[in-house]
Structures are given as C-alpha cells and as structure tokens.
Structure 1
Amino acid sequence: MKTFLKILLTALAVIVLANILPGVEVSGYVSAIIVAAVIALLNMVVRPLLIFFTLPATLVTFGLFIFVINAIIILLADKLVSGFAVSGFFSALLFSILLSIFRSALFSLLKDNNKN
C-alpha cells in the first residue's frame, strides 16, 4: 500500500512539473502514473548498475555525476512511455532535480502521517 501511495505521489509531482517546466510534457494522469512506475523500476534496476559502472566519475566529481545518472533515468523513461516527452538532456536534468525535491517533500509528509 505504501509503495502504491508513493507512486501516486510521484505521479502528482510529474504532473505538476510537466505543467511548470517548458521542456517536459505528459499527456494525462494515466501516463503520469505509468511514468512514476517506470521511474521507480528504473531506479531499482538500472540506476545501481549505472552508479557501479560510473563509480570513478562519481568519485572524481564528488557525487555530482549522480545528477547525470538521474537525467539518464528520466531520458530512459521518456523512451519507454509514449505519453511522456522530455525535450533534451538539460530539461531532463532540471526535471530530475526538481522531481527529487518534490518527492522528498511529499514523502516527508507521508512519514509524518504514519507517526500519528
């Protein structure tokens, strides 16, 4: 149940960011939910592999290369979901940074509700 709620909150963040950012488009609510699920799956499967193979670059840049990995995950989600479009790398980079911020804020609200 908690995972499904996190996917719905991520879908909400995707919709909000698609309306704010000029280079990101999502066709509807169902596409946003699919994008959230695909991003969750890519973060579980592909992200650890990318981090492992780019570990030297991540260490040299003191972890800032993780932002590039997050942008690659967003671009992969763009290729996998037909109702989701990102115009370029820098749009994906900005989208991934803002999505991380939104998700952190929304998930912290979720944690506060579970404690009560």
Structure 2
Amino acid sequence: MMFNRFSFLQRLLINVIMLLALAGFFKNGLYIENFTTGILAALVLGILNGILRPFLQLISLPLTLLTFGLFGFVINAVILWLTSWIVGAGFQFASFGWALLISVIMSVINAILSSYLVRNNK
C-alpha cells in the first residue's frame, strides 16, 4: 500500500540511486558532480517524465509502432538528454549514444523493480 502512496518519492530515490550507480559504472559516459546534483537530476527527470514524456510518446506513436516499441528508448534518451541540459555542467552525458544506453539500462531496471514491487504488494 505504501508503494502506491509514495510512488513519486520512491521513484525519485530509485532514480537517484540508479543514476549515481550508472555514473560510477560508466565513468566515460555519464558524469554526475555530486549527490546533490544526482538528486536534482532525478527530480528534473521525474518532472519531465510526468509532463513532457506523454506528449512525446503521442507525437511519436507511428514511429513507435513501426519499430515495435523500440523508439520508446529514444524518447527516454531524449528526456535524459534534456535533463542534462536543464541541470547543467554537473550532470552530463558524453554523447547521445551514452544517453540511449543509460535509458535502456534504466528502463530495464525500472521494469524489474516495478514488477517486483507490484508482485509483493498484492
């Protein structure tokens, strides 16, 4: 029950942990200056996912259908890239390819965690 009530905060925490871990694992591809910047990046990412992502998914629906959903990873990468632009120099990707790779990894981890949490909250 608590997962439903605090889902934004839990997702924020999960994204902070994921971003910091991925920045440590992929030092050449993702740079996060400090923990505070990681929190800010996760917060901006959450806001952009709530506001901008649905619009991008809607306008890219034909392309998403054509690619059997794989274009969704590109949309996620665009959101991450935009997050880095908003947050600034403390949160940067080496290239769009790195943003795409990180978006795929984050999507897989989020899917696994969501499935686990939903299964255990029944």
TM-score (norm 2): 0.83
Query: Is 1:7 aligned to 2:15, yes or no?
Result: no
Cα distance in structure 2, aligned partners of 1:2 and 1:59: 28
Deviation at 1:113, TM superposition (A): 6.6
Deviation at 1:6, TM superposition (A): 2.1
Deviation at 1:13, TM superposition (A): 0.6
Deviation at 1:107, TM superposition (A): 4.4
- The percent identity for this pair of structures is 37
TM-score (norm 1): 0.87
Cα distance in structure 2, aligned partners of 1:28 and 1:42: 21
What does 1:34-53 correspond to in 2, within 5 Å? 34-53=40-59
1:29/1:111 CA distance change after superposition, 3 Å: farther
The superposition leaves residues 62-86 of structure 1 with CA deviations (integer Å, 9 ceiling, x where unpaired) of 1111111111011000100122001
Cα distance in structure 1, aligned partners of 2:63 and 2:16: 31
Instruction: Give the secondary structure class of the aligned counterpart of 1:78.
Output: helix
Q: Is the 8 A contact 1:13 1:103 kept in 2?
A: no
Q: Which stretches in structure 1 are left out of the alignment for 5+ residues?
A: none
The runs of at least 4 consecutive aligned structure 1 residues that moved more than 2 Å come to 101-115
